[in-house]
Structure 1
């Protein structure tokens, strides 16, 4: 076959002119929701990892004056939201940290699963 023959799918009625590709909103939303699901997973996983690290460092007896321990504790305090003082056991501070921050980490992971499922459902609905 000759290479001079125009592909009918890529040209309009006039020879040599290409048709403009149409803007596909569904494809854009599918890509955007895919990117959003990745970002949500990373953010929620990072939050849960920081909370779990705080639990491990506290229960393990890490030096509270260490810069890494302070960094993790500061961020964990921010990420724990209302869970910081959910359980109050002043006689057992390690158990308090385990319950409060451990529950916050689990909630971050559950939130990740729910938001990712919603984004996927909306992405699939637009197809």
Structure 2
């Protein structure tokens, strides 16, 4: 007879997955904002304003970090750095939790 052992999910593993998911969501918000700016979305649209209202505080100190004359390139660089930041920080915290 074969006995099967139930391997439940550990609390630390679950916490690490939650942190990773939150970091990914934050990064996705930043990337969606970049795409909206690059593709020239209507800034008066409610969805664009909503994404901007989420992306701007999540960008932390990155907007204006590098003075770039081209506003579209500035958004790509600064908000792109913020997206990478959230992925790296979330990965680091998740690794600590495991």
What is the TM-score with the length of structure 1 in the denominator?
0.67
Query: Offset at 1:88?
Result: 2.1
Query: Offset at 1:115?
Result: 1.0
Q: Deviations 1:33-63 (Å, cap 9, x if unpaired)? A: 1121121011100000000000010011011
Whether 1:71 aligns to 2:50 is yes
Whether 1:107 aligns to 2:85 is yes
Query: Offset at 1:31?
Result: 2.2
Whether 1:88 aligns to 2:67 is yes
Query: Bigger radius of gyration, 1 or 2?
Result: 1
CA RMSD across the alignment: 1.2
List runs of 5+ in structure 1 lacking aligned partners.
Answer: 1-29, 121-127
For residues 92 and 17 of structure 2, the distance between their equivalents in structure 1, rounded to whole angstroms, comes to 13
Aligned residues: 90
For residues 74 and 88 of structure 1, the distance between their equivalents in structure 2, rounded to whole angstroms, comes to 22
**Counterpart of 1:62 in 2: which secondary structure?**
coil
Query: Offset at 1:113?
Result: 1.4
Query: Offset at 1:105?
Result: 0.1
List runs of 5+ in structure 2 lacking aligned partners.
Answer: 1-8
